[in-house]
Chains A and B, each alone.
Chain A
Amino acid sequence: MSHLPILPILLPLFAGALLLMLPSLERVKRSISVISTIALVPLALLLMQQAGDGQLRVYALGSWQPPFGIILLLDRLAALMLLATSVLASCAVLYAVRGDDRVGMRFHALFQFQLLGINGAFLTGDLFNLFVFFEILLIASYALLMHGNGAQRVRAGMHYVILNLAGSALFLIAVGTLYGITGTLNMVDMARQVAAADPSQAPVLAAAGLVLLLVFGLKAALLPLYFWLPRAYAAASSPVAALFAIMTKVGIYSILRVYSLIFGPEAGELANLAQPWIWPLALVTVILGALGALAATSLQGLLAYLVVVSAGTLLAAIALGTPEAQGAALFYLLHSTWVAGALFLLADLVARQRGDKAGLLVQGPALQNPHVLGAAFFYGAIAVAGLPPLSGFFAKLMLLQAAPPGAGALPLWSVLLIGGFIALVALSRAGSTLFWRTGHQALGSAELDGGRLFATLLLLSGSLLLVVFGQPLLDYAQATAAQLNDLNLYRGILGETGA
Chain B
Amino acid sequence: MEALFAITLGLLTASGTYLLLRGRTFAVVLGLTLLSYAVNLFLFAMGRLAGEAAVLGRDVQYADPVPQALVLTAIVIGFAMTAFVVVLALRGVSELGSDHVDGRREEDSAP
The interface of chain A, by Cβ under 8 A from chain B, is 68, 128, 132, 135, 139, 142-143, 146, 149-151, 154-155, 157-159, 161-162, 165-166, 168-169, 172-173, 175-177, 179-181, 183-185
Q: Provide the B41-69 mask, 1 if CB < 8 A to any CB of A, else 0.
A: 01101111000001100000000001100
By a CB distance below 8 angstroms, the chain A residues around B47 are: 180
Among B25, B36, B54, point to the contact of A158 (Cβ < 8 A): B25
Sample of 12 further A-B pairs with CB below 8 A, known A132-B77, A154-B88, A158-B92: A68-B55, A142-B88, A146-B88, A158-B88, A158-B89, A165-B32, A169-B32, A169-B36, A169-B39, A173-B39, A176-B67, A183-B55
Q: Provide the B80-105 mask, 1 if CB < 8 A to any CB of A, else 0.
A: 11001100110110011000011100
By a CB distance below 8 angstroms, the chain B residues around A146 are: 88, 91
Q: Nearest-CB distance from A302 to chain B (Å)?
A: 23
By a CB distance below 8 angstroms, the chain B residues around A68 are: 55
Question: Of residues A149, A151, A155, A172, which shows the largest number of chain B Cβ atoms within 10 Å of its Cβ?
Answer: A172
By a CB distance below 8 angstroms, the chain A residues around B48 are: 180
Q: Nearest-CB distance from A157 to chain B (Å)?
A: 7
Question: Of residues A157, A173, A175, which shows the largest number of chain B Cβ atoms within 10 Å of its Cβ?
Answer: A173
A-B contact pairs, 21 of them (CB 8 A): A139-B80, A139-B84, A142-B88, A146-B88, A151-B96, A151-B103, A155-B92, A155-B103, A158-B101, A158-B103, A161-B84, A162-B20, A162-B85, A169-B35, A172-B74, A173-B39, A175-B70, A176-B39, A183-B54, A183-B55, A184-B55
- Decide yes or no: A151 and B95 within 8 Å by CB, A135-B81, A142-B88, A184-B55 being known contacts: yes
The closest CB in chain A to the CB of B47 belongs to A180
By a CB distance below 8 angstroms, the chain A residues around B8 are: none
B35–A162 touching, CB < 8 Å: no
The closest CB in chain B to the CB of A160 belongs to B88
- Decide yes or no: A139 and B81 within 8 Å by CB, A158-B103, A159-B101, A162-B20 being known contacts: yes
- Decide yes or no: A179 and B81 within 8 Å by CB, A154-B88, A154-B96, A155-B102 being known contacts: no
The closest CB in chain B to the CB of A142 belongs to B84
B66–A179 touching, CB < 8 Å: yes
Interface residues of B, count at CB 8 A? 36
Q: Nearest-CB distance from B60 to chain A (Å)?
A: 15
By a CB distance below 8 angstroms, the chain A residues around B102 are: 155
The interface of chain B, by Cβ under 8 A from chain A, is 20, 25, 28, 32, 35-36, 38-39, 42-43, 45-48, 54-55, 66-67, 70, 73-74, 77-78, 80-81, 84-85, 88-89, 91-92, 95-96, 101-103
The closest CB in chain A to the CB of B33 belongs to A165
Q: Nearest-CB distance from A486 to chain B (Å)?
A: 28
A179–B101 touching, CB < 8 Å: no
The closest CB in chain A to the CB of B85 belongs to A161
**Which secondary structure dominates chain A's binding surface?**
helix
Among B43, B84, B91, point to the contact of A154 (Cβ < 8 A): B91
By a CB distance below 8 angstroms, the chain B residues around A179 are: 46, 54, 66-67, 70
By a CB distance below 8 angstroms, the chain A residues around B20 are: 162, 166
By a CB distance below 8 angstroms, the chain B residues around A185 are: 66
**Which secondary structure dominates chain B's binding surface?**
helix
Q: How far is the CA of A58 from the CA of B42 in the complex (A)?
A: 31
- Decide yes or no: A173 and B42 within 8 Å by CB, A162-B101, A179-B66, A185-B66 being known contacts: yes
By a CB distance below 8 angstroms, the chain A residues around B25 are: 158
Q: Nearest-CB distance from A389 to chain B (Å)?
A: 45
| Top 5 A-B pairs, shortest CB-CB distance | A180-B46, A155-B103, A183-B54, A176-B46, A176-B43
Q: Nearest-CB distance from A312 to chain B (Å)?
A: 26
By a CB distance below 8 angstroms, the chain B residues around A173 are: 39, 42
Q: How far is the CA of A262 from the CA of B109 in the complex (A)?
A: 45
By a CB distance below 8 angstroms, the chain A residues around B84 are: 139, 142-143, 161
Q: How far is the CA of A159 from the CA of B100 in the complex (A)?
A: 11
Among A154, A162, A180, point to the contact of B45 (Cβ < 8 A): A180
Q: How far is the CA of A158 from the CA of B84 in the complex (A)?
A: 11
A154–B103 touching, CB < 8 Å: yes
Q: Nearest-CB distance from A490 to chain B (Å)?
A: 21
By a CB distance below 8 angstroms, the chain B residues around A135 are: 77, 81
A128–B70 touching, CB < 8 Å: yes
B85–A166 touching, CB < 8 Å: no
Q: Nearest-CB distance from A71 to chain B (Å)?
A: 15
Q: Nearest-CB distance from B101 to chain A (Å)?
A: 6
Q: Nearest-CB distance from A203 to chain B (Å)?
A: 17
By a CB distance below 8 angstroms, the chain A residues around B80 are: 139
The closest CB in chain A to the CB of B77 belongs to A135
Q: How far is the CA of A172 from the CA of B77 in the complex (A)?
A: 11
By a CB distance below 8 angstroms, the chain A residues around B85 are: 161-162, 165
The closest CB in chain B to the CB of A162 belongs to B28
Q: Nearest-CB distance from B81 to chain A (Å)?
A: 6
The closest CB in chain A to the CB of B93 belongs to A154
Q: Nearest-CB distance from A258 to chain B (Å)?
A: 18
A172–B43 touching, CB < 8 Å: yes
Among B32, B36, B70, B96, point to the contact of A162 (Cβ < 8 A): B32
Q: How far is the CA of A135 from the CA of B47 in the complex (A)?
A: 23
Q: How far is the CA of A168 from the CA of B20 in the complex (A)?
A: 14
By a CB distance below 8 angstroms, the chain A residues around B42 are: 172-173, 176
By a CB distance below 8 angstroms, the chain B residues around A177 are: 46
Q: Nearest-CB distance from A396 to chain B (Å)?
A: 37
B46–A154 touching, CB < 8 Å: no
Q: Nearest-CB distance from A338 to chain B (Å)?
A: 30
By a CB distance below 8 angstroms, the chain A residues around B38 are: 169
Q: Nearest-CB distance from A475 to chain B (Å)?
A: 40
Question: Of residues A68, A154, A184, which shows the largest number of chain B Cβ atoms within 10 Å of its Cβ?
Answer: A154
